[in-house]
Amino acid sequence: MFKKYDFETVTDRTGLDAIKWEVIPIPNATVKEGFSHIPMWVADMDFPTAPCVIAALQARIAASSSFGYYSLPSTGYHAAIRKWQMERNNVDIGNDDYISYENSVLGGVANIVNAYTEPGEPVLLQSPTYIGFTGTVNATGRKIVLTDLVQDAEGTYRMDYEDMEAKIVDNNIKVAIFCSPHNPTGRVWDKEEIQKYVEICVKHNVKIASDEIWSDFIVGDKKHITTQSVSELAKQSVAAFYAPSKTFNLAGLVGAYSIIYNDEMRADVRKRAAATHYNQPNVLSAAALVGAYNNGAEYVEELLKVIKTNLDYAYKCLSSYEGVSVQKPAGTYVMFPDFTEFCAKRNKTMDEVLQKCVSVGVICQDGRPFHGACHARFNVACPTASVVEAFARIEKYVINEQW
């Protein structure tokens, strides 16, 4: 049967400089001979991007062979973002000027941090934490203050508002980084949860960098609620960051954007971005965004079916392993299982578990840099056959084998 999108072909990207395929992120780990590589770590997808993105890139190359100094397309770029935000998130941005190009989401987050804190001052992060936030805050010379997400009786990660407020007050926090949907736990926050988070921040004059790069990856019944949409206060105190890079697998093309309604905040962030001299739009990535956002909705719909299948499968496997505890993500394409009991029962360290996974070709990620003490992170954005093979190997060699 003819398929418009290919989410099934397993493509070995070795030799194409794809870090997912070239790097093994676990120290002292190697893949044993006879096992193919199934990379399940850094968050990009082993799927081709949408045909509409390729068409947009080809059209731009065909239109002009000049790639000189360049600004955002005068028509198209902002309109495509506004259309996408309206269709997916029911958000009417209202004015093109609220949108700013950002070279990367993390670059934008760094701009907020730099604009509103001094070196040595603290920034509030939730734990578990996306590894990139840790790197970015450290690189700016600021101090990380963590507020833990706490698992309830069902294992669902919840914000601890009391702890969060106490940390804000005790540390005189001025900037908080919020991740929605949350990497690595896969939580899709409810409106009330976001409201409460924003209320506490606003009460204490804390600026919020809301990273919503995963907003297109909602796999359950929920909807993505944009942080800025939960109240007028939120609209004025939140800088939101998005990108087509996760959704359409364009990280290598580089490019993201912010939406900031508050004039002063937007000016502050733009000033920081300009000062880096690194925030110029890339002609091809802008073309890719326009192609993706104007014509990519169907691709995303089909993609999400595959992601859901893979997450469901990974969840079924992981939750059946004795001593492994895992939550089914409502968003993202990553799983964050906890091996604490497994390690204790089997007298293994997490290093040994990770090395064992890699030895049979399943290249997952250490959860510790995400503040998961005995966790691994699995990226399931690859053909379902690879996910099935990966967990067959894990079950056989890591879970059942005596080693």
Applying CB under 6 A, the residues found at the interface with ligand PLP are 43, 104-106, 130, 132, 179, 183, 211, 213, 243, 245, 251, 256
User: β-strand 256-259 against 143-151: which pairing, if any?
Assistant: unpaired
Based on CB atoms, which residue is closest to ligand PLP, 213 or 284? 213
How far is CA 193 from each of CA 72, 189, 227, 401, rounded to the nearest angstrom?
36, 6, 10, 42
Closest C-alpha among 369, 339, 341 to residue 354: 339
Please, what is the minimum distance in Å from the beta carbon of residue 196 to ligand PLP? 21
Please, what is the minimum distance in Å from the beta carbon of residue 212 to ligand PLP? 9
Based on CB atoms, which residue is closest to ligand PLP, 108 or 343? 108
Please, what is the minimum distance in Å from the beta carbon of residue 366 to ligand PLP? 15
Cα–Cα distance for residue pair 261/238, rounded to 1 Å: 8
Based on CB atoms, which residue is closest to ligand PLP, 217 or 391? 217
Strand-pairing partners, residue 143, are: 122
How far is CA 52 from each of CA 163, 245, 292, 293, rounded to the nearest angstrom?
46, 14, 6, 9
Residue 243 near residue 256 (C-beta atoms within 8 A)? yes
- Joined tokens for residue 49: 């991007």
Cα–Cα distance for residue pair 257/277, rounded to 1 Å: 16
Give the SS3 label for residue 207.
strand
Based on CB atoms, which residue is closest to ligand PLP, 101 or 261? 101
Based on CB atoms, which residue is closest to ligand PLP, 104 or 310? 104
Based on CB atoms, which residue is closest to ligand PLP, 211 or 338? 211
Minimal CB distance residue for ligand PLP: 104
Based on CB atoms, which residue is closest to ligand PLP, 125 or 256? 256
How far is CA 238 from each of CA 121, 197, 199, rounded to the nearest angstrom?
20, 11, 11
Please, what is the minimum distance in Å from the beta carbon of residue 211 to ligand PLP? 5
Please, what is the minimum distance in Å from the beta carbon of residue 106 to ligand PLP? 4
Please, what is the minimum distance in Å from the beta carbon of residue 64 to ligand PLP? 26
Please, what is the minimum distance in Å from the beta carbon of residue 213 to ligand PLP? 4
Please give the distance of CA 197 from its chain centroid, rounded to a whole number.
20
Cα–Cα distance for residue pair 13/81, rounded to 1 Å: 30
Based on CB atoms, which residue is closest to ligand PLP, 81 or 343? 81
Residue 102 near residue 273 (C-beta atoms within 8 A)? yes
Please, what is the minimum distance in Å from the beta carbon of residue 302 to ligand PLP? 22
Strand order across the 376-379 sheet: 334-335, 376-379, 365-366
